[in-house]
């Protein structure tokens, strides 16, 4: 046993759980590729100001949870706590918004880092697949991204998730609501830290999960009652497009999420089988973020879905993902000469697109056949000196137990025919 363990709030992703993880990530990414989203990857650390200015100084993510540090060269950096600001930074840096038509549609996959209190479904390093559509203000784009997320969940067999939907208004109507909410919050019995937050960004208080705070917010003013006509019309178009696509949603007038850059459409996917940490993903429109980080006006929308939490949701529903066998053919050599020949055949099978493995470590027949069973392979290829002298190998069906001799030089062709 090693002297060291994985750091608190993290975990090792190992087989066979890692196979499910990869399948979930691929299922989320597949609809995005089909819809014309290109892959983008950004560094795991960025200038700390990218998140302070973009995500917001008043958010828990920046004020309490961000891993920030100063390099030996004096640069102030942070491990990325979320993926949208880095992706937008990359789009601006490489002028993708000027290279062709808008929107720029990209997707990403990777780990994010937040110093949170570890608990089931919440880790300090967690994996997401995200998608961003940058440079266009169009309700159909908001609806497209939501539909792609719903289709990804459904393709995995996930059913007991709910889509929460809200609008947070824009630069015209949000200040009016902000003032009304601040007036309401000033009359509540709040601790000093929450009062300070209410003055900086009162919407953050609505996201407070403490029961003592939530009870006092029962009569808080709602954003939907302060939306301007343009935001009302925009939100109604999103709702109509979702309904036409067969997507069920729940209007949640208190949904704000934990990031300051959201405007208009805001949404979250929740799964009741995950307890208090019920969110499995979410996103929204962020029309002013580009300007916050020094870029031009680029109205945009996006989401991030948690891979870790989606895996937990699948377990909560008892959904078993059909995974392709890592190995379809397992070679069992009996003797040094057979090892050399079968190693060459296994290499040829792999190059022909057939997943294959071979017993290592000089195992005897019994031990090698146990390894073949554990591999999940359908076929075993067994050969000893007598077989090789006859120019054949023994092909054994590990399901039925039937065994037939096959010419060694015809093995690849024979197996490809049987597996097809």
Tell me the CA distances in angstroms from 185 to 153, 190, 200, one per residue in order: 38, 8, 12
Residue 207 scores a pLDDT above 70? yes
Give the pLDDT confidence score for residue 385 in this predicted structure.
Answer: 92
144 labeled part of a ligand binding site: no
56 labeled part of a ligand binding site: no
Q: 280 in helix, strand or coil? A: strand
pTM score of the predicted model: 0.90
Q: Average pLDDT, stretch 215-231?
A: 91
Give the pLDDT confidence score for residue 64 in this predicted structure.
Answer: 83
310 labeled part of a ligand binding site: no
83 labeled part of a ligand binding site: yes
> What is d(CA 33, CA 35) in angstroms, rounded to the nearest whole number?
5
> What is d(CA 196, CA 91) in angstroms, rounded to the nearest whole number?
34
- Structure tokens given for 315: 């377990």
Give the pLDDT confidence score for residue 158 in this predicted structure.
Answer: 95
Q: Where are the domains of the chain?
A: 17-173+227-317, 329-419
Whether the ω angle into residue 16 lies within 30 degrees of 0, i.e. cis, is yes
Give the pLDDT confidence score for residue 258 in this predicted structure.
Answer: 64
Residue 294 scores a pLDDT above 70? yes
Give the pLDDT confidence score for residue 338 in this predicted structure.
Answer: 94
Q: Which long-range contacts (CB under 8 A, 24 or more apart) does 398-401 make?
A: 398/330, 398/372, 398/373
Phi and psi at 73, nearest 5°, equal -85, 0
121 falls in which pLDDT band (50, 70, 90)?
Answer: confident
Residue 43 scores a pLDDT above 90? yes
Phi-psi region of 103 (alpha: psi -120 to 50; beta: other; left: phi over 0): beta
Give the pLDDT confidence score for residue 420 in this predicted structure.
Answer: 82
Tell me the CA distances in angstroms from 100 to 89, 93, 105, 296, 370, one per residue in order: 17, 15, 11, 16, 57
Give the pLDDT confidence score for residue 391 in this predicted structure.
Answer: 95
> What is d(CA 84, CA 287) in angstroms, rounded to the nearest whole number?
12
Give the pLDDT confidence score for residue 322 in this predicted structure.
Answer: 87
Q: Which residue is associated with the tokens 């050969």?
A: 383
- Structure tokens given for 5: 């363990």
* Percent of the chain's residues with pLDDT above 90: 72
DSSP string, 313-382: HHHHHTPPP-PPPS-SEEEEE-SHHHHHHHHHHHHHHHHTT--EEE--S---HHHHHHHHHHHT-SEEEE
Q: Average pLDDT, stretch 309-328?
A: 91
261 labeled part of a ligand binding site: yes
Q: Which residue is associated with the tokens 């999103």?
A: 238
User: Nearest CA to 86 among 141, 46, 48?
Assistant: 46
Residue 57 scores a pLDDT above 80? no
What is the rounded average pLDDT for all residues in the chain? 92
> What is d(CA 356, CA 375) in angstroms, rounded to the nearest whole number?
10
Most confident of 157-166, 175-184, 316-325: 157-166
128 labeled part of a ligand binding site: yes
Whether the ω angle into residue 113 lies within 30 degrees of 0, i.e. cis, is no
Q: Which CATH architecture has domain 329-419?
A: 3-Layer(aba) Sandwich (3.40)
Residue 58 scores a pLDDT above 70? no
pLDDT (tens digit, 9 = 90+) per residue, 243-283? 999 999 999 998 887 667 789 999 999 998 887 778 999 99
Most confident of 180-189, 274-283, 345-354: 345-354
Residue 197 scores a pLDDT above 70? yes
Pick the CATH number of 17-173+227-317 from 3.40.50.300, 3.40.50.1450, 3.30.420.40, 3.30.930.10: 3.30.930.10
């Amino acid at each position: 046993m090693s002297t060291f363990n994985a750091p608190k709030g993290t975990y090792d992703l190992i087989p066979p759980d890692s196979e499910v993880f990869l399948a979930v990530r691929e299922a989320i990414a597949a609809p995005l590729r089909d819809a014309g989203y290109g892959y983008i990857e950004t560094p795991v650390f960025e200038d700390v100001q990218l998140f302070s200015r973009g995500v917001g100084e008043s958010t828990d993510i920046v004020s309490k949870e961000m891993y920030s540090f100063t390099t030996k060269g004096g640069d102030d950096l942070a491990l990325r706590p979320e993926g949208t600001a880095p992706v937008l930074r990359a789009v601006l840096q490489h002028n993708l918004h000027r290279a062709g038509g808008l929107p720029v549609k990209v997707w990403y996959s990777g780990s994010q880092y937040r110093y949170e209190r570890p608990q089931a479904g919440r880790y300090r390093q967690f994996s997401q697949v995200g998608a961003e559509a940058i440079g266009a203000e169009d309700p159909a784009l908001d609806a497209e991204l939501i539909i792609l997320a719903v289709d990804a969940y459904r393709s995995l067999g996930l059913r007991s998730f709910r889509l929460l939907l809200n609008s947070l208004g824009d630069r015209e109507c949000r200040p009016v609501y902000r003032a009304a909410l601040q007036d309401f919050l000033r009359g509540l019995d709040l601790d000093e830290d929450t009062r300070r937050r209410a003055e900086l960004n009162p919407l953050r208080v609505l996201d407070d999960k403490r029961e003592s705070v939530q009870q006092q917010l029962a009569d808080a003013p709602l954003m939907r009652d302060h939306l301007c006509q343009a935001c009302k019309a925009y939100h109604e178009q999103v709702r109509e497009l979702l309904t036409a696509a067969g997507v069920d949603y729940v209007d949640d007038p208190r949904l704000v999420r934990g990031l300051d850059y959201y405007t208009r459409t805001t949404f979250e996917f929740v799964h009741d089988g995950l307890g208090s940490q019920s969110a499995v993903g979410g996103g929204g429109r962020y029309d002013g973020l580009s300007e916050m980080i020094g870029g031009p006006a680029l109205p945009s929308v996006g989401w991030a879905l948690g891979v870790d939490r989606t895996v937990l949701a699948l377990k909560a529903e008892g959904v078993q993902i059909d995974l392709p066998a890592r190995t379809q053919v397992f070679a069992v050599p009996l003797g040094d000469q057979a090892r050399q020949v079968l190693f060459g055949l296994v290499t040829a099978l792999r190059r022909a697109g057939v997943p294959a493995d071979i017993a290592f470590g000089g195992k005897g027949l019994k031990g090698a056949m146990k390894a073949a069973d554990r591999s999940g392979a359908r076929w075993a290829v067994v050969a000893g000196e007598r077989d090789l002298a006859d120019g054949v190998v023994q092909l054994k069906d590990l399901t039925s137990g039937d065994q037939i001799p096959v010419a060694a030089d015809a093995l690849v062709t024979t197996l490809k025919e049987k597996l097809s």
